[in-house]
């Protein structure tokens, strides 16, 4: 079911983003007087098509949803009838052709703005970005972070929830070699100070290493080990644990925090424990043997209980954030611009070998992210669509032959020299670009498969 869910949301996401991209080309082509022969979402075998009449555009859905195309009347692709010649792409002015080609990626960036606008207006609920315990020797410790501080802004971008804070931090990691300003509010005085987080390039270019060495984690309150839920027929239920029981100790180890109790249980899978509890003022002894459960390729112990969360604690840790329409639109434009720059910089770093190919995501990873973000709710899925739309827009603007940016480069050369680049030269560059693009796709697939097996 998880695979099917990921596949479904992957098709929805890619279908929408490709449709918007191709619609950009299509709409501007029509507005500039170019006749569009076919508008296709996907490649390969046609599974659905519609055409009002032989003179109108044919709309097509194809079997492979990894792209699309807009076929226009073009003398370079075959003979053009005399009646269609005035509507050919090649007959239009340089500015018109430039606008048609640029429209695809521009529409993707515009979609990202619209999606972020919706996200900011709808608002989201999340954990406040309060810093948890800081381990000695981590990058956070070197920057001077202290447990209990609340992050206010990352690289001058406002931070509202923990998740949003970490997303911005990861997007800014490549800028942190010289120091990344992170503004925080101190717990005791409530003063605002700025920590300068320095992330070496060798760390920032490897996502797994970055998480390990960064050392920033969300604050977790100390919650008394009081049972708030007992799962029916679980080890806890069979041993007599009840809602309201206070865990005092196990095998002589005392507990004052629920997290410490959970870790102890997880570390004693299949091992009998003598647990001391307090119930209605009486101290009782209970024998428990945690079930052995495999999670993330590790065997851990579970007994089937949940914590009793103190009243008002959850509300104090959560924050709801939304913006009025005008402010949301400004924030959406800023967020799209910021992620466009971060994406472009990451691509540049990978091109020169300064960033790891682990930062690449192929169709498998994108499908997984699509499914997981959809499971987390509408806002998460909209944010996923926005960041992929940004990536698609930026990628297509790169001056690589066969991509929109490659065509724009040819138009720039045409503007300088005063005449179109020779077809033979364009063909050579397209072959080079196609080879490079196929190599990149193969590398992304390899990284995807390796990541999947890991």
CATH of residue 314's domain is 2.30.42.10
Q: Are residues 22 and 96 in the same domain?
A: yes
- Chain-wide mean pLDDT for the chain? 85
What is the percent of the chain where pLDDT is above 70? 93
**How much is the pLDDT for 452?**
60
**How much is the pLDDT for 450?**
64
Residue 57 lies in a domain: no
The two tokens of residue 129 are 């970005």
**How much is the pLDDT for 96?**
93
In this predicted structure, the answer to whether residue 419 has a pLDDT above a threshold of 90 is: no
Q: Are residues 250 and 316 in the same domain?
A: no
Mean pLDDT score, 261-272: 91
The two tokens of residue 340 are 């466009």
Tell me the residue length of the chain: 454
Q: Alpha carbon of 67 to those of 11, 13, 17, 35, 104: distances in Å?
A: 11, 12, 9, 21, 12
**Domain limits at 304?**
227-308
- 208, with CB counted inside 10 A (0-12, 13-18, 19+), is exposed
Least confident of 61-70, 206-215, 257-266: 206-215
C-alpha dihedral (151, 156, 162, 164), degrees to nearest 10: 170
The two tokens of residue 366 are 């994108």
**How much is the pLDDT for 277?**
92
In this predicted structure, the answer to whether residue 102 has a pLDDT above a threshold of 90 is: yes
**How much is the pLDDT for 114?**
96
pLDDT digits (tens, 9 = 90+) for 214-264: 888 888 888 889 999 999 889 999 999 999 999 999 998 899 889 899 999
**How much is the pLDDT for 445?**
67
Q: Are residues 236 and 278 in the same domain?
A: yes
pTM: 0.76
Q: Are residues 275 and 398 in the same domain?
A: no
- Rounded-to-integer distance, Cα 195 and Cα 163, Å: 19
- Catalytic machinery residues: 22
Q: How confident is the model at residue 454 (pLDDT cuts 50, 70, 90)?
A: low
Q: What are all long-range contacts of 423-430, with beta carbons under 8 Å and residues at least 24 apart?
A: 423/76, 426/401, 429/401, 430/401, 430/402, 430/406
In this predicted structure, the answer to whether residue 32 has a pLDDT above a threshold of 60 is: yes
Residue 87 lies in a domain: no
- Rounded-to-integer distance, Cα 401 and Cα 426, Å: 8
Domain boundary among 286, 308, 330: 308
Helix (H) or strand (E) holding 2: helix 2-31
Domain boundary among 285, 308, 331: 308
Pairing verdict, β 227-230 and 246-250? unpaired
- Rounded-to-integer distance, Cα 182 and Cα 191, Å: 14
């Amino acid at each position: 079911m998880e695979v099917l869910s990921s596949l479904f949301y992957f098709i929805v996401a890619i279908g929408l983003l490709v449709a918007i991209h191709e619609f950009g080309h299509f709409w501007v082509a029509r507005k500039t007087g170019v006749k569009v022969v076919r508008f296709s979402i996907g490649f390969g075998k046609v599974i659905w098509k519609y055409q009002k009449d032989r003179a109108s555009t044919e709309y097509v859905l194809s079997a492979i949803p990894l792209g699309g195309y807009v076929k226009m009347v073009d003398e370079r692709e075959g003979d053009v009838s005399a009646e269609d010649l005035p509507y050919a792409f090649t007959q239009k002015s340089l500015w018109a052709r430039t606008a048609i080609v640029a429209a695809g990626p521009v529409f993707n960036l515009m979609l990202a703005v619209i999606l972020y606008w919706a996200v900011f207006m709808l608002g989201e609920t999340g954990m406040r970005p309060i810093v948890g315990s800081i381990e000695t020797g981590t990058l956070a410790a070197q920057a001077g972070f202290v447990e209990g501080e609340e992050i206010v802004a990352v690289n001058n971008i406002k931070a509202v929830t923990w998740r949003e804070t970490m997303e911005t931090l990861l997007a800014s990691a490549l800028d942190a070699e010289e120091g990344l300003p992170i503004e925080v509010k101190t717990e005791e005085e409530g003063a605002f100070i700025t920590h300068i987080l320095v992330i070496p390039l060798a760390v920032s270019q490897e996502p797994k290493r970055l998480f390990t060495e960064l050392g920033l984690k969300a604050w977790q309150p100390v919650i008394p080990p009081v049972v708030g839920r007992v799962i029916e027929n679980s080890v806890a239920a069979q041993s007599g644990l009840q809602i309201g029981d206070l865990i005092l100790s196990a095998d002589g180890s005392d507990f004052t925090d629920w997290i410490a109790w959970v870790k102890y249980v997880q570390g004693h899978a299949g091992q009998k424990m003598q647990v001391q509890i307090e119930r209605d003022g009486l101290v009782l002894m209970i024998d428990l043997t945690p079930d052995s459960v495999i999670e993330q390729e590790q065997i851990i112990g579970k007994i089937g209980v949940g914590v009793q969360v103190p009243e008002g604690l959850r509300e104090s840790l959560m924050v709801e954030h939304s913006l009025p329409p005008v402010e949301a639109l400004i924030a959406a434009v800023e967020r799209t611009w910021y992620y466009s720059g971060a994406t472009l910089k990451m691509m540049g770093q990978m091109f020169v070998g300064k960033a790891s190919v682990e930062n690449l995501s192929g169709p498998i990873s994108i499908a997984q992210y699509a499914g997981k973000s959809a499971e987390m709710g509408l806002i998460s899925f909209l944010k996923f669509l926005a960041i992929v739309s940004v990536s698609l827009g930026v990628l297509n603007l790169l001056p690589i032959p066969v991509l929109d940016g490659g065509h724009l480069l040819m138009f720039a050369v045409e503007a300088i020299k005063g005449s179109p680049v020779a077809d033979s030269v364009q063909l050579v560059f397209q072959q080079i670009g196609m080879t490079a693009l196929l190599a990149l796709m193969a590398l992304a697939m390899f990284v995807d498969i390796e990541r999947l097996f890991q």
